[in-house]
Amino acid sequence: AQKITQTQPGMFVQEKEAVTLDCTYDTSDPSYGLFWYKQPSSGEMIFLIYQGSYDQQNATEGRYSLNFQKARKSANLVISASQLGDSAMYFCAMRGWYSSASKIIFGSGTRLSIRP
């Protein structure tokens, strides 16, 4: 069975500070992928970043980076220099390449609020 856990239902961060959103996962698949999505108040789901389980380096996309610790089964999202527009729900997600075909499972999300 696969599982994604996001333990922070909500976070408040001061603008321009860095923020880390926690995500832990559980899977029996030897190969898997980890995703982060952003959902602003307008409702759309926006893909942010992807990490493959065999990637040697942590993924980065602009201000987003993924702190991947395979032994600890964690895939935390780090947002550097936070901006007011970063206020949104953030979802961690996972796909097991062998067990679940194209299916991606999502965590319960973390609501991030950036204070000016």
Partner 1 sequence: DAGVIQSPRHEVTEMGQEVTLRCKLISGHNSLFWYRQTMMRGLELLIYFNNNVPIDDSGMPEDRFSAKMPNASFSTLKIQPSEPRDSAVYFCASSSSRDSNNEQFFGPGTRLTVL
Residues that bind partner 1 (CB under 8 A): 33, 35, 37, 43-47, 50, 52, 91, 95, 100-106, 108-109
Tokens found for residue 31: 């190969």
Between the CA of residue 64 and those of 12, 40, 84, what are the distances in Å? Answer: 18, 16, 15
**Are the C-beta atoms of 32 and 3 separated by less than 8 Å?**
no
CB of 100 to partner 1, least distance (A): 8
Structure-block tokens of residue 77: 């999202």
Which residue, 12 or 54, is less far from partner 1 as judged by CB?
A: 54
Measured from the CB atom, is 10 or 52 closer to partner 1?
A: 52
Minimum gap (Å) between residue 114 Cβ and partner 1: 22
Which DSSP state fits 63? Answer: T
Residue number with CB closer to partner 1 (38 or 82): 38
